[in-house]
Chains A and B, each alone.
Chain A
Amino acid sequence: MPAEDMGKLSYRMRFTFAVTTVLCVAVLAISPVKDFRAEWKKYKRSFVKFAQGRPDTKKLLADYNPNIDQIWLPGINVVDRCTTCHQGMTQASLADTSLPQPFRAHPPIPHNARDWGCTMCHRGQGPATEVAEAHETTLAWEQPILPARYLQASCGSCHHKDIKETPQLARGRELLSRLNCQGCHKLSHVDRPALGPDLSSVGYKVSREWIYKWLKEPRNVVDKDGNVTVTGYESGDEFRMPQFRLKEEEIRALSGFLSVQKAKPIETYKINPAVVAAWSKKPDLLPQAEVRFRQMMCTTCHPLAVTRAGETKLIGGNIGPELTKVGSKVNEEWLVAWLKNPQGYLAHNNMPKYGWSDEDLYKVSQYVMNKLTDSDLLTGVPQLGAPSEDEIKLGKRLFTEKGCASCHGLQGISPQKEFGPDLTALGAKNASELEFGKAKIPHNLPAYIQAKLQDPVAVNPAARMPQYAWNSADLEAVTTALLSETGPKATSALQHLLIPKDDASFQAVGDFAEVYERYKCYACHRFNGYGGTLAPDLSYEGSRAQKKWIADFLKNPQTIRPTLILRMPQFNMTDKEAAIAAEYLSMAVQKPGVNPESVSAAQFTPAMVAMGKQLYEVKYQCQSCHTIGGSGGYVGPNLNNAGNWLTPAWIEAWLRNPLALQPDTIEPKRNFTDDEISALTAYIMTLRAGTNPQASKSAANAQPLAQGAGR
C-alpha cells in the first residue's frame, strides 16, 4: 500500500461504514417508535378523542394523564395498571352498558378499586401493559382474567362467610355441602353435613333387586311408558346419590354384599291386631289413609311426585328422601318399625319420633305400602337370589374401592383416606398443572372444572368420580364455589383480609334437650345460627311468643303465614313435652334487651287501641301485607290471633326495628313515633281469634296448595 493511502479508507470501506451507521441509527430508533406505538398509548389517545365527542369532555379529561396509570398497594401485593386503558372506570356518566370498553365505568361495588386494585377480583396480570398479556394466558403468566360469570369466586376467596351479594357462590357452596363432596375431597369453608345413610343393616330394609336397580339408575320418576317425568332438577333440588359407572358384575356384587348387611335386627313393632282387624276390612281404608298421610305433613320434609293437570312434578321439602316409590322399596315390617322409632334403625338421622297411635301408624303405613308404589320399578331387574361367597367378597372390596364408604357408614369398614384429590387450592391452579386428556375444551381452569363436573371421564378416563346431573345454573354455581377455593393466602397481610365462617352451635339443655332431640327441632328451625332454614328462626322465640301459645301450638300447629305450603307436622306431643318445650323456649331463647315482661298490656287504654286501629288501617295501611280475619295481604304473618301469640315487648321492639330482630325480613324499618308504637301495639294485642283449631285444620288440609289462592 502506498504511503499516502495509509490511514485513508477505501471507498468501499467508507460505504460499508455509512450503511452500518445508518442501520445502527435505524435499529436504535425502533425502540422509541415501538414505545410511541405502544398499545396502551393508543387507548390513551382514543380516550381523549372519545371524551371530546361527548358533552362532558371537561369532566372526563379533568385528571387525564398521558402516562401509565397504576394502582400500587404494596400491603396486598397489588400493582395494577388496568386503569391505564380503563380510564372511565370512575366516571359515573360512563355507566351505560352500551358504551364501548375499555372506557365504561365500573359498576358501583362495595370495594373501591383504588383501595383494592383490580386483579384481586378479576385476576389477570396486573403490571402488564398489553391487552393480551393483561387478560389472557401467556407463557409467563397462567392466571388469565376470570370470566365475569364466575366473578363471585373472587368474593369467596376472602369471604368464607356467605354474603348476600353473592347468591351464585352461596348456592355453589350449598351444593358442595349437600352433595357431600367432602366425603372424598378436601375443601375449605364448606359445611360438612351428615353422611349418606348408614348401611350396616340395610339388608333388613330393602331387597337385593332394589339395590341393583338403585345402583344402576339412582333416581328418576318414570311413567309407565318409560319416560322420565321427574328428574332431580324439576324439584329445584338435586339428588344426593350420583350415578357410578359400574359393570354388570360389579352391580351384582355390590347388591349382594349390601343385601347381607344385617348388623342390628329390626325392633319389630306389632300394631294392635284389633286396629288392623277393624280397619283392614273397611272399603275406604286407603282414601282415609291418604287423608291421614297428608295430615301428618310428611311432605314438609320429603319430596313426593304428584300429577296435577297432566303434569308430574315433585312437591315438598328436601330434608328427607323422596317418597314417590318408597312402597316398592322398603319392606312393611321395616317401615312400621322405622316410623315408630327412627333412631332404632339409624342412631343419627333427622326424622322426628312421632307419637303415633296404632290407628295412625296402620293407616299411614298402609298408604305408603299400597299407594306410593310403582309396580314396574323392578321390571328388567334379573332375579338375583342369594349372593355367592365370591360376590360378597368382591362387593366388600368394591364398597371401599368405588368410594361408597366415603359417604355411607358401614360397620367394620372405614373409608379410604384421601379418596379424591385435595381441592382446597384448586381455584389458584395454573392450566399447565391440569390434565386435559383428549377433551376438546379450552385449556383454562374454569373450562376444566366444568368439563370434569359434567362428565368426569371426559377429561380423565380413569376418573373414579361418579356422574352428577347438573342443570346449567348449578353447574356454574358449583364451578364458582370451586374457583373460590384458592388455598391459603400468600402473605400474612392477605391472610388478614379473610372473613371466616361463623362457628354456629346450639346446645339444648335440661329436659328440653330430650324433646329437642326427639322431635329434631333443628332439622327445620334455626337456633343461634345452627340448624335448618325451612322454618322460622327460633333464636328469639322466648321474646316473641307467649308461653301458653307455644305450648298450644306444639300440640296443634296452625299455619300463621297465609301462603305457606310446607307446614309444621303435628307430632302428637304429650302435654308434658309441650310444656317443657314452651318453658324452655320462652325462658332460654330470648333477644337480649327484649324481655317479654318489660311491657305490660295493662297500660293500654281504649283510646290507644282506637288510635292504633286508625294507624293500622288508614295511615300505614298494614293490611296491604297482613291479614286480620280473612282480609288483607299475604306477605306477612296473619295477625288474627296476635294478642294471644305475641308479647307486647316483641311487638314494640319489632315496630321499632324489625331488622334488628330478623335481618332478612321483608318488613321495612319505619320511623314510627313512640306514641304510634304504643298505639299499634295496644291495637295488635286486642286481636284475638276465637280458637277453633279443628275447623281451620280440616279446611287447610283439604287443599294444602290452594291456601291463599283467593280471598
Chain B
Amino acid sequence: MKSKLLLAVTLLASVICTVVPGGCKKSAPAVKPDETFGAYDTELDWNDSAKLTKLGYQESQGKRIFYQYCVWCHADASPAGPSNRSNLTPVPPLLNDGEKLNGESDEFIQNIITLGGSALGKSAMMPPYGNTLTATEIKEVIAFTRAIAQPPYQKPGRPGSQYTAE
C-alpha cells in the first residue's frame, strides 16, 4: 500500500513538472517618458512631433552617423542651428522624404553615398563618403532613412512568409 502511494506521488510530481512552465514573468520598469525619452533609439517624426519611431540597433547607429555627417544638408535644422540645405542648388532631399527616396533602391543610395553625386550623374555637391564611412556604416544610414521615411517605406520584392511564431 505504501509503495503504491509513493508511486502515485512520484507520478503526480513528474506530470506537474512537465506541464507547469517555469519562472514567473516580471515586467520591465517603466521610465516616466518626457521629450527626451529614448533619445538614442527612437526618432521623432520630422513632421509630426507626436509620432515616435522605434529604432533597432542598425537604425540607431544610422541615426548617430546621420547627425554627425549628413544632417547639415539633408535636414532643415542642424545641431549648430541653421541648415546648409537652403544654400545648395539643386536642393538636397530631406532624409525623410519618402516620395523621393522610397523609389531608390538600397544599392543606389549605397552607391551615391560611397561614390558621391557626380559619379552617378547627380550634383557634385554630394561628396563621396566611401573612404570615410565603412560599407556597414552606410548601410546603417540607409536603414535609418528607411525607418523615418514619410510616406513609409515598403520593402520591394515578394512578400515574406505569413508564418508567425507563437
Tell me the count of chain A residues lying within 8 A, CB to CB, of chain B.
82
Does A2 sit at the interface, judged by CB under 8 A? no
The contact of B11 among A27, A46, A130, A564, by CB within 8 Å, is: A27
Residue of A nearest to B18 (CB): A34
The A interface is mostly helix, strand or loop, or mixed, namely loop
List the B residue with the shortest CB-CB distance to A446: B29
A441 to chain B, nearest CB (A): 6
Contact among B26, B81, B116 for A565, CB-based, below 8 A: B81
Q: How distant is the Cα of A711 from the Cα of B84 in the complex, in angstroms?
A: 11
When distances are taken between beta carbons in the complex, the residues of chain B under 8 Å from A43 are 165
Name the contact of A471 in the complex, choosing from B23, B36, B64, B139 (C-beta under 8 A): B36
Cα separation A37 to B14 with both chains bound (whole Å):
13
In the complex the two chains form, is B84's CB within 8 Å of A109's CB? no
Does chain A have a CB within 8 A of B125?
yes
Q: Point out the residue from B32, B37, B56, B84 that lies within 8 Å of A633, measured CB to CB.
A: B84
Q: CB within 8 Å of B: which of A8-56?
A: 19-20, 23-24, 26-27, 30, 33-34, 37, 43, 46, 49-50, 53-55
How far is it, in angstroms, between the C-alpha of A99 and the C-alpha of B33 when the chains are bound?
27
Q: A666 contacts the other chain (Cβ, under 8 Å)?
A: yes
A-B interface pairs (CB < 8 A), number:
177
A136 adjacent to B25 (CB under 8 Å): yes
**Which stretch from B43-51, B94-102, B154-162 is at the chain A interface?**
B154-162
What is the chain A residue whose CB lies nearest that of B130? A668
Report the minimum CB–CB distance from B53 to chain A (whole Å). 11
Q: Specify which chain B residues have a CB less than 8 angstroms from the CB of A565 in the assembled complex.
A: 80-81
> In this complex, what residue of B is CB-closest to A37?
B18
Instruction: Tell me the bound Cα distance from A691 to B35 in angstroms.
Output: 45
Q: Which of B27, B31, B81 contacts A442 (CB 8 A)?
A: B27
- A233 engages B22 (CB within 8 Å): no
Whether the pair B160, A99 counts as a contact (CB closer than 8 A) is yes
Q: Which residues of B contact A27 (CB under 8 A)?
A: 7, 10-11, 14
- CB neighbours of A233 from chain B (8 A): 36
**How many residues of B are counted as interface, with CB atoms below 8 angstroms from the partner's CB atoms?**
65
Please measure, in the bound complex, the distance between the C-alpha atom of A634 and the C-alpha atom of B69, giving whole angstroms: 13
A132, A137, A624, A669: which has the most chain B beta carbons within 10 Å? A624
Contact at B56–A475, with CB atoms within 8 Å? Answer: no
Among candidates A20, A46, A109, A137, residue contacting B3 with C-beta atoms closer than 8 Å: A20
Judge whether A168 is part of the interface by a CB distance below 8 angstroms: yes
CA distance A96 to B58 in the complex (A): 11
- CB-CB contacts below 8 Å: A654-669 with B: 659, 664, 666-669
Binding site for B on A (CB under 8 A): 19-20, 23-24, 26-27, 30, 33-34, 37, 43, 46, 49-50, 53-55, 96-103, 107-109, 130, 132-133, 136-138, 147-149, 164-165, 167-168, 233, 441-444, 446-447, 450-451, 471-477, 563-565, 618-621, 624-625, 632-635, 659, 664, 666-671, 705, 708-709, 711
Chain B contacts to A: CB under 8 angstroms = 3-4, 7, 10-11, 14-15, 17-18, 21-23, 25-29, 31-41, 56-58, 61, 64, 68-69, 72-73, 78, 80-82, 84, 87-88, 116, 118, 123-125, 127-129, 131-132, 136, 139, 155, 158, 160-166
16 new A-B contacts at CB < 8 Å, known A108-B136, A565-B81, A708-B81: A19-B4, A50-B161, A148-B41, A164-B64, A472-B31, A473-B39, A476-B40, A563-B82, A564-B80, A618-B124, A635-B73, A659-B131, A664-B68, A668-B127, A668-B129, A670-B116
Selected A-B contacts with CB under 8 Å, 20 pairs? A20-B4, A30-B15, A53-B162, A101-B165, A148-B41, A442-B26, A442-B28, A446-B29, A471-B34, A471-B35, A476-B40, A563-B78, A619-B124, A621-B123, A625-B84, A635-B73, A659-B131, A666-B68, A666-B69, A670-B131
